Amino acid sequence: MLFDLLKKNPTFKHGIHPPQFKEDTRDKPIRHFPFAPVMIVPLAQHIGKPSVPVVSEGQEVTRGQLLARADGFVSVPMHAPASGVIKKIGRVPSISGKMVPGIFLEPFPGSSQEVLEGKPVKVESATPEEIIAAIQNAGIVGLGGAAFPTHVKLKIPEGKHADTLIINGAECEPYLTTDHRVMLEQAPDIIMGVRYLLKATGAARAVIGIESNKPDAAENLRKHLPPDLPLSVQVAEVKYPQGAEKMLITAILGREVPSGGLPIDVHAVVVNVATTAEIGRLLPHGRGIQERVITITGPGIRKKGNYWIPIGTPLRYILEQAGAEEDINRVFMGGPMMGTAVSSLDIPVTKGTSGIVAFRDEEARKKDQKIYPCIHCGACVDACPLFLNPSRLGILAKFKEYHTMASDYNLMDCFECGSCTYVCPSHIPLVQYFRMSKLVLRNEKAKAPHV
């Protein structure tokens, strides 16, 4: 007993402890959300090639019906978030600020909104290939925020193997309680999802990783663990960015993903817990994903909570329904650490949107602090979970030494967790510098003639 108390939860080195702000929504059960008068469905809500529309303007569709098919392997299809009529196929506003290809859909008012069923894929009889194909057909991407097509990482490359499947329920991002609620309310779906994932990857065991600030979620999942499944629950220390793929692998398996490599290089596959639940829920019915759980919170929201929100619901409609204050002036999609501050409210939520956090005047103003020069204090060096030197990288970025940043200081390893920016006493926007530097390098590479 005493031994257990002394034993610390596993974690990674460095990292930060930002305030959690989860108490406003962690106890709020997931509730359904009304359909917006117009839905906006971008064709690329994932990393990879955009999907190709299979419907035409004016056509009536049923909720869950295929709207656009996947274009190749690294791509996923889109399904109708509501029964309604296709108003227009063209360009829609997106979070990047650009107009992107997409579909406007007008839901039928008062329709029963029953979801279309497809061909079920049974975990007992399906082959790994069939499961991987079914996950792609269901349009599933990483719901934790990265929106990478899940089936792509389940396809184990030739010559490699997975020994452990890690289900990521860390949810280290402040404010967000999406995964927390999913673990409390959808345990059977998660277990079913794990069955599919284990079969697809061939991994010998699965571990659900949860930060210790969600003991109720860990307990609930432990209660549901079936005796026939090599599945366990591992509680990890509360520390940001514990939910980053690499950090969670290190905490649970003690392995380091090699620089430039993937989890499979250390025989691990990591899937977000809400994604897992979605797989467990959709595949037995052959359905496609048409809604997701989103935490709507922040000081600028009156009806804070966790909601099932149809994919494609415009942000403006969500804020209206959730009772946003008049004076909100900063809205994040995702959390405040790794999410994106939006430039327009006319963009829709997409498959990767895990939270909507709205701030009012005073909170945002506190953030706009004066930037001082780097005084070499080393706080960022102590915070970086990858042991990079953000101070040096920041100075190099200022002098546009992008190539040195990548070649000598491992810029490309940075996954933009923002810990350095968070701790910087001089308020230097380090992670923003790095994002921009990486973009410059990527654009350069894309432009360079191929030899």
Partner 1 sequence: MRNVVYALLPIAAYAVYTFGLSALLLLITALIACLLTEHLLNHWIGKESPLGDWSITITALLYGLTLPPHLPLWMVFVGGVIAVALGKFIFGGLGYNVFNPALVGRAFIQAAFPVAITTWMAPFLPDRFSHIPSSTLTLPFLKPVYDITSGATPLSLMKFEHRATDTYSLLMGMTSGSTGETSALLIALGGLYLISRKMMNWRIPLALLGTVYLISTVLHWSNPDIYPTGLFMLFSGGLMLGAVFMATDMVASPITPLGATVYGIIIGIMIYVIRVWGGLPEGVMYAILFGNAVSPHIDNLIRPRVYGTGKQWSKS
What residues make contact with partner 1 under the rule CB under 8 A?
163, 246, 250, 253-261, 266-267, 372-378, 381-382, 385-389, 391-392, 410, 413, 426
Report which of 109, 85, 90 is spatially closest to residue 101, judged by C-alpha positions.
Answer: 90
CB of 377 to partner 1, least distance (A): 5
CB of 239 to partner 1, least distance (A): 15
CB of 35 to partner 1, least distance (A): 44
What kind and span of H or E run contains 217?
helix 215-224
CB of 155 to partner 1, least distance (A): 21
CB of 75 to partner 1, least distance (A): 28
For residue 30, CA distances in Å to 33, 100, 110, 251, 338 come to 10, 31, 22, 29, 23
- Do 167 and 190 meet the contact criterion of CB atoms below 8 Å apart? yes
CB of 342 to partner 1, least distance (A): 31
Q: Which is nearer to partner 1, 410 or 432 (CB)?
A: 410
- The SS3 assignment for 90 reads strand
Q: Which is nearer to partner 1, 56 or 259 (CB)?
A: 259
Q: Which is nearer to partner 1, 37 or 378 (CB)?
A: 378
- Do 337 and 28 meet the contact criterion of CB atoms below 8 Å apart? no
- Do 99 and 78 meet the contact criterion of CB atoms below 8 Å apart? no
Cβ within 8 Å of residue 239, ≥6 positions away: 11, 12, 15, 16, 17, 172, 211
Q: Which is nearer to partner 1, 163 or 219 (CB)?
A: 163
Q: Which is nearer to partner 1, 92 or 266 (CB)?
A: 266
CB of 299 to partner 1, least distance (A): 28
CB of 255 to partner 1, least distance (A): 4
Q: Which is nearer to partner 1, 333 or 406 (CB)?
A: 406
Cβ within 8 Å of residue 36, ≥6 positions away: 107, 310, 312, 313, 314, 317, 318
Q: Between helices 273-282 and 187-201, what is the axis angle to 10°?
A: 90
End-to-end alpha-carbon separation of the chain, Å?
A: 64
Q: Which is nearer to partner 1, 213 or 389 (CB)?
A: 389
- Cis preceding linkage at 241, omega within 30: yes
Q: Which is nearer to partner 1, 97 or 425 (CB)?
A: 425
- Do 297 and 307 meet the contact criterion of CB atoms below 8 Å apart? no
For residue 109, CA distances in Å to 36, 88, 441 come to 10, 18, 48
